Structures are given as C-alpha cells and as structure tokens.
Amino acid sequence: MALQETLKAISDPVRRKILVSLREKELSAGEIAQILQMTPPATSHHLQKLKYAGLISERKEKNYIFYELNTSLFEELLLWLKQFEQRKEETSDEGNQKAVFDSDLPAARR
C-alpha cells in the first residue's frame, strides 16, 4: 500500500479513534461500533478504509470478525516520519542523511 493511502486513512478523526481503541486489544466490529456510538454500516466503512490502507487486519471466528492493529506498518510509518525529526547532529552533517521516500517502503506497502 502506498504511503499516500495510509496517510489518507489516518487523516479521518473517526479512523484515528478506531486505531486508538485497538491499541490495547483486538475488538469485533460490534464492539468498535458500540465504543464509538456508530451505526454498523458506518463502522464497516471506516474499518474497510483502515484495512485497505494496511493499518489493521481481521480475524474471523465463527460469526464474528475481530480487528487488530498491523503494528509492522506502524513501525514502517514511524521510520518514515522519523526522517523529519530535527536532531542536533543532523545540522552539522546534513549531507550524509538519506531521505526515505514512498518508493523506499517495501513493495507490499505500495
């Protein structure tokens, strides 16, 4: 999945609330809808966007679907964002810093 899709998915405040809700443990779609006081179709829409962006994964158990964070994508995203962190050593040696671009992410994320 492309970085653009990931950033687009987390730009929505409802989706960010879903991600925060999934920090502690996996939740079913019904539990997420109840926590956020949303209708099941609205919850499903946001979950699909997050799943498409690779931010969450799903696990089916009987009649339920449980969602959890895809922590590996968050780690990649943090590494990409870290290039914008201002450090004291960068100001003295800027020429040796390698920028990480969307094309540097693994192919599975593009």
Closest C-alpha to 46, from 5, 9, 3? 9
User: Where exactly are the structural domains of the chain?
Assistant: 3-72
How is domain 3-72 classified at the architecture level of CATH?
Answer: Orthogonal Bundle (1.10)
What is the distance between the alpha carbons of residues 28 and 22, in angstroms, rounded to a whole number?
Answer: 10
Neighbours of 94 (CB within 10 A): 8
Q: For the chain (length 110 residues), average pLDDT per consecutive 10? A: 82 95 94 96 96 93 93 84 74 55 52
Model-wide pTM > 0.75? no
Question: Taking a C-beta distance cutoff of 8 angstroms, is the pair 109, 3 a contact?
Answer: yes
